[in-house]
Each structure stands twice: as structure tokens, then as C-alpha cells.
Structure 1
Amino acid sequence: MLAWTALGLALSLRVALAQSGAERGPPASSPQGDLLFLVDSSASVSHYEFSRVREFLGQLVAPLPLGPRALHASLVHVGSQPDTEFSFGQYNSGASVQDAIRAATQRMGDTNTGLALAYAKEQLFDTAAGSQPGVPKVLVWVTDGGSSDPVGPPMQELKDLGVTVFIISTGRGNLLELSAAASAPPEKHLHFVDVDDLHIITQELRDSILDAMQPQQQLRASEVTSSSFRLAWLPLLTAKSGYYLLELVPSAEPGVVRRQQVPGNATGWVWAGLEPDTDYDVALVPESNELFVGPQHLRVRTLPEEAGPERIVISHARPRSVRVSWAPTLGPAAVLGYHVLYGPLQGGTAQRVEVPAGQNSTTLQGLTPGTVYLVTVTAAFRLGQERALSAKACTLPGERSRALPLPDTRARGP
């Protein structure tokens, strides 16, 4: 009877450990990837706000499948200089990462986010920092909405390398700038939340992170034009371990092959001199004597000869309206229409106007007097591609109220 009781206790303990995930860590089917938290730790954030962000991140990671065969997490502080709180692979469970986040201390100093983004890029792809080669990369940037240095260029480099970027702004921030910095679509990757309401987005953000960690095509095309496109891929080799062979073939002419060899530390290439409105089959073949990595394939269609908006003209400026015109496309039959997105340059809600393909101008109304707006005109082609161009527009100062006539105080005769 004693033996059966001991066995029952052991089985109960084993079941409890398995249910808590503490016995063997994440299952073999767990997604793999690197998750980096970039947290504003500067003096622009109060100690209370920092503590609330810290609590939010701890709750966010606790149920995630972290471990040697699953997700790796790291936390980097934004300050005068970027500083790593803990690196990838240092902790192998959600509970241990949660404890490490809650023990993090604020660094203070300036808000040099651009510098921290460049540092995060190095960490995400540095095996010495514990990063995993050839797995999805996710960056979660928590900010109060401001930065002391430019954010756009280093953020674009991260996205060009295939990093999925989520942004949580606890301040006002600039909607257009943060929308451009987040991965597309911004409505899924950008959240404006008061620091006391961060718990509202916890589950949604956690699900989105796990979705981004699913295996995905590592070879991607961007900046597609009528004669070129840019390829980008996650690092699969190093400069010492091998090189890549790129092949480009028009789908209708399989015998016409263009080849290009690039070093093993390359993560992108631009194919130029292409024919418009043409399907191209692309292959990325990693060549290495140290490890086997399978080839990647992709089909890309160049844009038609018709161009998107080439020039934006702002006219008829009034206190509450401006006229926006653009050079029409050469062949409007290939264009579904235009999207005009506009919003205050210094932050505020962006609005969108749909313009039919046969028109090349619209009047933006209901604007604020004396305000600079950023206007972006996007041509949507029938084949699914888009071309965009932006310009600044400034409304006139508010109209002064007309002066009332003064009473006539001159003496009048009888």
C-alpha cells in the first residue's frame, strides 16, 4: 500500500510539472525564434511608468514557450547608450525571463533610440549574443513616443532583414512616423496605450508575436518597380562559411538565366534592368562546405510601364483646406485608384481619402489652420502592387474676424 501511495504521489507530481511546463520546457513543436524587447529606460520615462512597463512585459512573456528548442528572449535598454539587461538564451523558461524583467533597473540618460536600434540589429544576428541563425526575428519596442536621434533609417534596416517590428507607445508620439516604423500593416503592429492600460493588449500582442514566429519564407521581394526589385533574406551563412548564388529567370523564357554570386554575410541584392509587367523566378542557393541549407525560391512580377504619382502639387491653401494634385499615370487602365493619407506632421490622427483612377486631384477639408500636414498619395495597381509619394502641405493661419463698425459719435443737427 505504501509503494502504491509513493507511486501515486510521483505520478501526481509528474503531471503537475508537465502541466506547468517546468519538467521538460517547451514541446518539440514549439515555434523557434528570437524575441528582443527594446525598452525606453531614459530619464523621459518616470519611475512609475517604467515599473508599469516592466510588469506588463513580465506578464507578456510568462506563458511563452521559451527554451533551447523554442523562443529565445533578450532585453535591451534605451538610454544615452544601449545596454543589455539579459541576452538570448540566458534564461530558458517564461518564469525565469519574467523574473529577470521584473528585476531590471532603469538606466536614465538621453533617449537615443536610433543608436539602440543599430545595437539591437547586431544582437539579433550575432550568435555570440545567443541569437539563432535562420529563425524568425521579432522586435518589441516600448516607447513614450519620443527619441533624441533618428529612428527611421536603422528601423528600416531591421525590417529589410526580415525583422517583425511591434511598437507600443505609452505617450502621444507621431502617428505617421510610428506607423512607418512598425511592420505592415500598422493597425496590427502599432499600439497606443496608456501605461495603466497596457494589460488590455497583452493577449493580442502575445498572439501576434507567436504568429510572427511561425516558419516563413526567408526570401522576400520589396521596392518592386517596372524595371527592378530588391531581394532580402535572413542570414543563413557567414562570410567564412560560404556564399550565395542568385539566379533570375523570366518565367516565360526558362533558357534566359542571370546569375550573381554574393558573399555569405550578404542579406540582400537588387535586380535591375528588367522588363516591365513580367514574371521572374528567383532562386537563392546557399553554397557551403560546413552546413547544408536548402535553396529558397520566389516569383516576382515587375510593375507595368505605367508609373505611380511622380509629382505632388499643393495649391489653393486655405485655413481649413488644401488642394492636392499629382501627375497622372501614363496608363490609368492599370490603376485601380489612389489612396490619399494625410495627418499633422507633429502628431495626430491620420485620415484617408479614396480617389478614383480617372482623377488626379482632391481637396482635403476640415483641416486645422496654420498646421503642417504630411500628405501621401499611393497608386494601387490592378496586379496588387502600390507606388507612393509624399509631400508637405501647410494650411493658412486662421482668418481674423472682421472688425465691427464703430458707432457714429458725430453731432447731428436737429
Structure 2
Amino acid sequence: MRRLGVACLLLLLLLSARVPRSCARDTTPDSGFDCCEGDVLLLLDSSGSISFYEFSRMLHFLSDLLRPFHVGRGHVRVALVQVDTEPRVEFDFDAHSSQNELQDALLRTPQLRGDTMTEKALLLAQRLLWRPAGQKAPPRVLLWLTDGVEPGNVEGPISALHKEGVSVLAVSTGHSNYQVFSRAVTPPIKQHLYFVDPDYMDIITKDLREAITDLICTECLHVRDVTSHSALLHWQAILIGGLSHYELQYGETESNSDTYRKLTLSPDHTWTEVTDLQPDTHYGVRLTAHTPYSTHSTTLSAGFTTLPDLICTDCLQACDVTSHSALLHWQAILIGGLSHYELQYGETESSSDTYRKLTLSPDHTWTEVTDLQPDTHYGVRLTAHTPYSTHSTTLSAGFTTLPDVFYPTTVMVSESGPDRLRVSWSPVQSGRVEWYRVEFGPIPRGDVRSVTLSRSQSSVLLTQLQPDTHYLITISAVHSSGQEGAISVKACTEEVLPGVHDLGLTQMGFDSVKVDWRTQEQAAGLQGYWVKWETGGSSPSSSSSSRYLPAQTLSTVLTHLNPTTRVCVSPVYRTARGEGLCCTTHTHTAAS
């Protein structure tokens, strides 16, 4: 019986690997978050349905999200529970008492790559967040971060958390059931539920941080978008209509509070801008909510320092430089209104008149420049324009793009067997590449193995593989500079297909026989057996007949046979037929 080949799916996945040149990040908490107090539990999906790259993006997103908060007792306590086959507490609320400790723990979190047992993880989170009835406790927030694949039956644990006063927020980076997540989060859904691509998680950082702030910083006066001459003040609504009003006082802290400037604001205000400030000066702010016919008033206070007029020379930085792109970061200089930034960049050897130009809104603090030439030095100028002003501030920087990273563009898989795969790639660039690294592991989980090959090799035979298993294979070209370029494929090994042996025919009557057989071993993928025979002798009406039998059946009786009938039995597996056997019956004799 002809053995059918196993069909394998090859999916080319180009991976852009690069050596990052990251900007230094300040882990000093923002003074505007001094009054925040609460417990934030991170429920992080660490299952095998999430790629290593996506998991890394999630960790960096959480790092940026939590960076402004003061960490520790009396401020914001953070715990991390990983969702896995057996969910585990990566660290509890009292594990870290500083922002530096928290950042280090977050970015070192290993991926577990098991099953998505979210329900069990929520029960574990519920125990960490539990507080005795009647005990006064700071606000509690659960932030669920997942790719949305098979969340399971989460409604029970989520409902219990809601009843205990825990606010639930969710971020999904992939396949998601909106109904499940919208029922899980605490209203308002628009502020507490986000669907985002892993590559662009930074676009929700500000909104999500403000949602958390609104929950755990309930009595705060926030100072934002501070420049050298202005600042924005934000607060949660305290007053509702009527004759109520806010009184805002602000001034230099070194001056007498009697000299503070005063503003009266209507009760529907939740923010205002203070202007005409002095640069590099510390200011104090007091916001008092007045209600008529009441002897009690609520006062919030805050402080901030304006930026110096002379902007630092390194405030414009080029980060994550590759051969064709770079990220530009700068400190905020403008806020709102009709202000804008003008960005100019080009090769330093060219005239500045040929520089490309971009116009950016005042809320920008970074942008990416692309379509650059490899191994080329670029100059950048960022000018902050303010309407009705004759003065503009210009920042400048320079950077050199990396040389081009060469890597294979074509991958082929051949010699597929139950325990082996041959992988070949092209083109081979021995003059540009130092060596190749081939990494391979079963999907969705399993040990990843690695093979190192010389620059001249273009293929490798991977052995000791599991049968009938999909593998992710990545070929990385490593350059002397440390840069890497990689390409990946998915390929599958063949199924083990044991054949039939000991086929026997026993005559049961004038035109009937019993067919018995055995297989070499009971393979996991065995589906059943095809039995085929001829009927009708040599007459014009002769024909072939067949019968399909389940895997547990090892015999059958055939009737109405001609004197010499050829009987064949072959096993059927999930992907192909195995090797079969045939025998011929003879009139009034034992089967041959």
C-alpha cells in the first residue's frame, strides 16, 4: 500500500532583530503622585499562547505604566500573579518598597508558558486582595493583562472581587471576546477596558495610568505638563452645581502665602492652567472647595517646580537606532493651544536645506524617523514654536545608523520524518555573517534547543524530534557587531505509521471467510482499518467492495465471495494510511 506523505505547513515569519540603544530611563517617582495610596495586583498571562516577544512587550508596558508611582506601604503596593497551568505569585504586596526594586523585579519576570488557567489565578489573586469585613483599607485594583485566548470561566471569581470592592481593569493584546471582558471590568468600560496590538501598547499608557490614578489617588491635586512658565492643575470633582465654588491659590513657596494669586472657579471645573510663572521656581498650590451654609471645606494641596529657561543640551535623544530608523525622545516644552513642534532631520553631509521636515502637535514627546540609510550620520533639530511669541526653543542631536543586518530570506524544510527535519536557508552570506544559530522547539510549549553553525553552512539536520509535532525553527545570522537578523518557519514532523502484519483468512462456509490481523503496535493516531475485497468472480458484474472498521476491531467476516478473492487490510491514521497486507482465498481450501 502506497504511503502518503505528511503535509506540512511552512509559515515564514520575518523577525527584525536588532541591538537596541536605549535611552536612560528615570525611575524616580513623580511628585504629582505623592498622595496615591492603594494596592495594585497585576494578573499577567504567562501562558504558551503568548510569544516570547509579546511577553517582553507586556513587561516593558507594565514597567512604564507604574514608573511614576511611589512604591511601598502608605503609597502604592504592587503584587504580580502569573497565569499558568499552576498560577503562581511572582511577588506579593510587601515584596518591594521602592520603584527601583519594582522595576528590576518586573523586567526579570520569567515566562512560564503553560496553560491559561485564569480562573485558578483569579482565586489566588482574590486571596491576596482579601481584607476582613469592616477593616478600613486603601483602594484595591486588579489589572488583568492577557492575549485573550481561552480566558475560561472567569465570571464567578470576577463577581466575587467586585463584591469585595476591588476595581477590575483589563488590557487584551489579541483574540478577545468583548462580552466576557466588558462584564469583567468595573464601569466605566471605556476607561477600564483596552484592546491594543502588542507593538503599540504605549499609546494606552497615559489613559490607563490616569484610570488607575482616579481609583487610588482619590484626594489628589495633580500637576501636569509643567513648563518654564506654566502648569496644568487637575483634580477629581468634589463639588456638584448650586452655589458652591472652588478657590485656587498659588504662589512661590518662598513668598508669604498672603501674596499668593487667587482664582475663583465654578463647581464644574476639574482642571485649570496657571501661567505667567517664573522659570526654575518652586510653587505651592491650594485648592479649596467651598459649600454655602457649611462650616466644613475640603482643601487639596500640591507643589511643583517650573523648568529652567535654558533647556539642557541633551534633552533631545536618539534611542533604539537601527539601520533604517531611530526613535527621538525629548522633554516636554509645549502644552496645548496653537503651539507646535517642527522637526528637521537629514544626513549631516548634506545641506540643511534638504532636511526632511515634520510638524508635530504640542503633546508629542517622541517620534520615529524611518527610511534612513544604513551606516550614515544624521543631524536632528527640534524647534518649539509658540504663537504670539518672538522666541522659539531649538534642541539638536545627532546619531549614526547601524550597518545593514543581512540574514536568510528563504527557508526550506525537507527530509521530513517522525523524528527529524532538514532545514536549509539562502542566501549564504559568509562574507558578512560570523556564524549562524538555529533554535527549535515544539509548539506551543516545550524545551528549546540550539545549534551553532559556521558561516559557510546553509543547512542542518535536526534529529531526536517528537513525531507528529509542529516545531518553530528560527535561523539567526549573527554579525561581528553583535547585531542579529533572523527568519523563522513552522514545520511538522511526520506521524508514526505502523503497518499490518499476521493477516489470516479462515473459511467459515461455502462463500464466507473470517479475516484476522494485528498491527505492530497501537499507535496514538490510529483511526481504524480499511478492508477491501473483490466479489462476483469473473462475471461482467464483478466489482470491488470495501469496509471501514474502528481502531479496536481486529477481525471481520466477509460473505458472498467468489472462489478466489483477494482481501487487503490497511491501517488508517490521522494524516495517512499505513502499510497494508493482502491474502487470496481459494475454493474449499484454507486461506493462503
**TM-score interval, normalised by the smaller of the two chains:** 0.3 to 0.5
**Which has the larger share of strand?**
2
Normalization by structure 2: what TM-score? 0.35
Normalization by structure 1: what TM-score? 0.48
**Which has the larger share of helix?**
1
